[in-house]
Amino acid sequence: MSKDLIKRHTSLTANIVAFCRYLRTEGFVIAAPEEADALKTIEILQPYNTPETMRLALKICLTRHIGQAERFDELYDYYWKQVQKATDSKIADQKKEKQEQKPKPKGQDAQFQSLKSWLLGEKSDEELELHTFSATETLSKKDFSTLSEEELRDMFELIQMIARRLARQQNRRFSKHKNGQLDLRRTLRQNLRRGGEIVDLMHKKQQKRRLELVLICDVSKSMELYSRFLIQFAYAFQQVFRRIETFVFSTQLTPITDILRGSDFVKSLENLSERVPHWSGGTRIGESLAHFTQEFGQKHLSSRTVVIIISDGWDTGDATHLTEAMSEIHRKAHRVIWLNPLAGNPNFEPSTAAMQAALPFVDVFAAAHNAESLRQLYRYL
């Protein structure tokens, strides 16, 4: 918010316009039509001019979703307090107690920024807490902590491409087709030329249905470095694609779809740490996946589901559970994709017992450690 915005305006109209501008710096999407609405509203409300009605009316005009509606009252109070202060002291450009706030970046940018700051900002912590599977420690560190801005942008674009490709697979509309349901409308029009005698039958067919995505991320200790990155990945994914369910597991399975759906990433993370007490715990892939099939299988497994499991397969437990669960997932889902961050290492072999047990039921086994591997994922979908 720049200083001159809060200069004292003498008329109410000017004040409303300035207030709109102030909201704009706070990330509200307000252009001329919204300002016009606000002014019209004030005019309409002339007979009921109380501070409360004005606040309510402006709130209804200028907010567009719940997040904005929640912040509105505070911003409104703050703004008018500042105006008041400016009047009292007659000095419009006095220093404000509040630090200058940068305008919040919008939409895609916000996600991109949070993605970046998270990855870069948390770097030092991650270096201290390295608990990765030792053989690939250096490689993985390089993969994620040195991501350049370009690479990040790249990744975000990839996620969007993936989302778009998934979206395109479905169209519930009907299209002309050689055989399929009879299309009466087309039949009638076509045959009118023949004087109403039905000669040609036209058909239509429902186009392919859209796929659903189930993302199951391993957040155990051995995956710590990746899991943070992957939560970001899942978050970004969820922002652009809505038919996605996300779960995390270490020793147990937790659905986190609703948390990631929130528009504030930092808040989502807080909720996440609250919801997932087993973060960076041990690994029980088999039990977790069995839990998934039992509890959520009915709802989230169908011939339209693509299941993506992201794990290093580093599990010391019994593999029988895993075999059972994987075979069920494989049987019911459209496709099973296993992404293993360690697979980025050229020397990698999927030799852990869990990995061996799971592989027969996996349609696509790929690496997920950098932008290139995501590009591959795009090709598989």
Partner 1 sequence: MPLILTLAVRRTHKNSKLHCMQHDGLKKIENLLTEQGYISEPSIVMSIFLSMQLHKPLLVEGPAGVGKTEIAKVMARALEADLIRLQCYEGLDATHALYEWNYQQQLLHLKILERDPSVSKAAMESEIFGERFLLKRPLLQAISQPQPPVLLIDEIDRSDEEFESFLLEILSDWQITIPEMGTIRAKEPPYVVLTGNRTRELSEALRRRCLYLYIGYPEFDKELAIVRSKVPQIDARLGNQICAFMVELRQMKLEKVPGVAETLDWAQALAALHFDHLDKQIIEDTLGVVLKDWQDMRHVQLSLSQLLDKTGVVSKFDNL
Binding residues for partner 1 (CB under 8 A): 29, 33-34, 37, 40-41, 44, 47-48, 52-53, 56-57, 59-61, 63-66, 69, 107, 167, 171-173, 184-185, 188, 192, 195-196, 198, 242, 295
Query: Within 10 A of 377 (CB to CB), how many other CB atoms are there?
Result: 19
Pick 262 or 313: Cβ nearer partner 1: 262
Q: Lay out the sheet containing 364-367: strands in order across.
A: 253-255, 244-249, 212-218, 305-310, 335-340, 364-367
Pick 123 or 165: Cβ nearer partner 1: 165
Closest CB 154 distance from partner 1, rounded Å: 24
Closest CB 289 distance from partner 1, rounded Å: 19
CB-count burial class (<10 Å; 0-12, 13-18, 19+) for 19? buried
- State CA 116 to chain mean position distance: 15
Between β-strands 181-182 and 203-206, what pairing exists: parallel, antiparallel or unpaired?
antiparallel
Q: Among the residues of the chain, which ranges form H helices? A: 12-25, 32-44, 51-62, 66-89, 107-121, 123-128, 137-145, 149-168, 184-192, 224-240, 257-260, 265-275, 285-291, 297-300, 320-332, 353-358, 371-380
Closest CB 68 distance from partner 1, rounded Å: 8
Pick 56 or 139: Cβ nearer partner 1: 56
Q: Lay out the sheet containing 174-177: strands in order across.
A: 174-177, 203-206, 181-182
Pick 61 or 371: Cβ nearer partner 1: 61
Closest CB 116 distance from partner 1, rounded Å: 22
Closest CB 173 distance from partner 1, rounded Å: 6
Closest CB 351 distance from partner 1, rounded Å: 38
Closest CB 12 distance from partner 1, rounded Å: 17
H/E stretch holding 204 reads strand 203-206
State the Cα–Cα distance between residues 290 and 251, nearest whole angstrom: 12
Closest CB 63 distance from partner 1, rounded Å: 5
Cα angle 277, 279, 283 (rounded to 5 degrees) comes to: 115
Do 290 and 357 form a contact (C-beta atoms < 8 A)?
no
Pick 5 or 167: Cβ nearer partner 1: 167
Pick 60 or 359: Cβ nearer partner 1: 60
State the Cα–Cα distance between residues 9 and 230, nearest whole angstrom: 49
Query: Within 10 A of 91 (CB to CB), how many other CB atoms are there?
Result: 12
Pick 49 or 94: Cβ nearer partner 1: 49
Pick 90 or 173: Cβ nearer partner 1: 173
Do 250 and 345 form a contact (C-beta atoms < 8 A)?
no
Closest CB 366 distance from partner 1, rounded Å: 29
Closest CB 234 distance from partner 1, rounded Å: 16
Pick 81 or 185: Cβ nearer partner 1: 185
Q: How many residues does the chain have?
A: 381
Closest by CA position to 155, among listed 266, 232, 225: 232
State the Cα–Cα distance between residues 261 and 368, nearest whole angstrom: 23
Pick 62 or 225: Cβ nearer partner 1: 62
